[in-house]
Amino acid sequence: MVKNIVAYCLVVLTSVGQFAYGQLTTDADFKRQVYDNDFTVGVLLHTRGFGITGRYGFLTSGFTKNALEMDIVNMRHPKENKTYTDFLNNSTGYVYGRENAFYIIRTGFYRERILYDKTDQGTLSVSFFYSIGVSWGMIKPIYLEIDRQENPTTTIERYDPNSNEGFILGQANFFHRIGETRIQPGLYFKTGFSFDNHESDDRIRSLEAGVIIDAFHKEIPIMHDTSNSFLFFQMYMAINFGKKWN
């Protein structure tokens, strides 16, 4: 479902880019202010999850920008399926077979070039961008709240897909045993197009869409008894807000 939404948005944004190109033939008397720095934060939706993103940019000319960027996202396995213990009213659900939760913190270098500039306030600018950097994979063991029946209190235990004892209420608090998280470094590459239509020169309101590849040197053990991968390909879109200054 998410993949279809992102694919549809890519088609729409391509059409918008063609429209923006047509706007360049106008005779509008508009001069865009050039700034030295900018900062943006945004919400990112990708085909395996979601997250947040942020960039600190250095404008190298009126049409190019370098930036340092950071993304924090979760990464789901394609076979994840949330399960509930039906006869327990307080069941909050868990993902059957998932041994570890996987999150990625990306830190890297971003490069952007404006392809079609604004011809008037409130019109679109279209940019092409790419970024490369380090993917800091965080592998956190899954712990579950389990009702053992013979024990009047709920116990919290590491998920064991081979255990049939007790009734699973749901996943334990995210911060439980967070110190057991393992870090797996890798690399990422991101590229796509960005569309900005904010009315003010010193503000940013953009929609971007593209693809991301995260690669690690070994498989990430998310699911039990099924294939896991070291390579994560995602289509994504993000909405960013920010400001520019000198």
Tokens found for residue 78? 């394609």
Domain that holds residue 56: 2-245
Angle ∠(207,209,213) on CA atoms, nearest 5: 140
Q: What is the mean pLDDT of residues 152-156?
A: 81
pTM of the model: 0.85
Angle ∠(51,216,133) on CA atoms, nearest 5: 60
pLDDT digits (tens, 9 = 90+) for 231-243: 999 999 999 999 9
What is the CATH number for 204? 2.40.160.20
Identify residue 130 by its one-letter amino acid code: Y
Report the pLDDT value the prediction gives residue 16, as an integer from 0 to 100: 45
What CA–CA distance (Å, rounded) separates 228 from 220? Answer: 6
Total domains, the chain: 1
54 or 2: which leads in pLDDT: 54
Report the pLDDT value the prediction gives residue 137, as an integer from 0 to 100: 98
Q: Does residue 87 surpass a pLDDT of 70?
A: no
What CA–CA distance (Å, rounded) separates 110 from 150? Answer: 56
